[in-house]
Amino acid sequence: MSFSPLDRRQFLMAGAAAAGTPLATPWAAAAEGLIRGQAEHVISIWLGGGMGQIDTFDPKRRGDPEKKVPGSYYDAIPTAVQGVQVCEHLPKVAAIMDRVTAVRTVNHSVIDEHAAATNWMHVGRPISGTVTYPSLGSIISHERGAAADGVPAYVLIGYPSGSRGPGFLGAKDNYLYLTDTGRGPAGFAVPESITERRRARRLEYLNDLRGAQRPVEDSRLQDYDAAAELSLRLSSPEFMRSFELDSEPAELRESYGGEFGQRCLLSRRLIERGVRFIEVSHNLNFLNGAGWDVHNRGILDQHALIRELDVAFSALILDLEEKHLLDKTLVVITTEFGRPPGFDGGGGRGHQSSTFTCVLAGGGLRHQGAYGETDELSQKIVADPVSVPDFFATIHAALGIDYTKSLYDGDRPVPITDGGKPVAKLFG
């Protein structure tokens, strides 16, 4: 059996790790020249269903669904960055594209499986039969922890799923989730009948019970105990005040728009509390009835969805900037894949993973409006491809995380970004 040089290095690394022998790696050798940014937080906006890049951040010539002429569904408009255009339904975002980079050449190999593509875009690599990989949020939680005491490192505003979880990192790097921005996480709000005195007495009884227990060595029980301790802190009035959106000025709340916008506003409040990573999932009752998965007639009201994104995303960027948080907060927009330029039998679009757009904003990066070039129909990459590991490595680098290191599933080394390299042009 023959091995390539890279295969041989990986084989030797794995063998040395199993034997407990230190071994220099090509990644470790490059560690001294790592790109390191200054961001402290991430707000990741997830557009489930597959945002069509050709109808949003990578517009091309106008198409015609009735005549089956491939192209954009909408007209393009100029932005604050010369030479960069976006869809006509993103006017507010167009005005702030100097704080944004649409990475137009993200790609992977999953086309027809939403679940597999969603998992790939959360863990940064294809599904494995032997390893349950941690999500980006869990990795950042593991590497950086919360930015303040008494708050979770990782919050999901949306419905829970395995692809967003901690994988082999364990429960300590899992997320806290909520679906109702007005009430906060289910089960954390203390009933009005429970006075502060009663709560203190309950905590006293609980501490007495814990003191009577023997120390346990089982890591699963230790994770459970740590999670219970964090839950107690999160149910405190201090943290629960994060969810009181009505304490914000009415004009600001209105500038964010509807419920999706309120999720984005809540993410800013959680950043202020010290949460490190927040995913804001756009999985509500979609205005167009189909979400971003615009097959057939779902595309007819796609513009309403794009406008909702335009309002919420632009309000979030400007709000973070007003509060001097934008350089410290990397805002990310991801989706499982893009859309082809052609139209299906019902006038909508299918799936495309050969090239699609993900977005970065703030985070202290050197933004340029757009990065990467696609062909005349946004179907093929012309210049500067960005793999999913590269995109993840860019996020890690922005937060000062070593994107060349390995995490460990037991004794098994797992490269943190599957060998990704950051987009160097985005760093000063």
Cα(138)–Cα(401) distance, integer angstroms: 13
Residue 348 has pLDDT above 90, yes or no: yes
Q: Please give the share of the chain, as a percent, with pLDDT higher than 70.
A: 80
pLDDT tens column, 283-297: 765 666 778 999 988
Cα(252)–Cα(49) distance, integer angstroms: 29
Cα(56)–Cα(359) distance, integer angstroms: 11
- Enumerate the β-bridge partners of residue 46: 281, 334
Q: Give me the chain's average pLDDT, please.
A: 87
Confidence class of residue 239 from pLDDT cuts 50, 70 and 90? confident
Other Cβ atoms less than 10 A from the Cβ of 404: the count is 23
Q: Helix count (H) and strand count (E) of the chain?
A: 12, 15
DSSP class of residue 214 equals P
pLDDT tens column, 206-220: 666 666 666 666 666
Whose CA is closest to 309, among 251, 367, 253, 261? 261
Residue 89 has pLDDT above 90, yes or no: yes
Cα(95)–Cα(63) distance, integer angstroms: 25
Element at 87 (helix H, strand E):
strand 85-87
Cα(135)–Cα(159) distance, integer angstroms: 15
Residue 259, phi then psi, degrees to nearest 5: -60, -40
pLDDT tens column, 251-267: 999 999 999 999 999 99
Describe the crossing of helices 259-273 and 302-322 by its angle, rounded to 10 degrees: 30
**Residue range 35-189+243-426, CATH number:** 3.40.720.10
**Range(s) of the chain covered by CATH 3.40.720.10:** 35-189+243-426
Cα 116 vs. chain centroid, distance in angstroms? 16
pLDDT tens column, 285-334: 566 677 899 998 889 999 999 999 999 999 999 999 999 999 999 999 99
Q: Please give the share of the chain, as a percent, with pLDDT higher than 90.
A: 71
The angle at the Cα of 94, spanning 88 to 100, to the nearest 5 degrees, equals: 135
pLDDT at 138: 98
Residue 15 has pLDDT above 80, yes or no: no
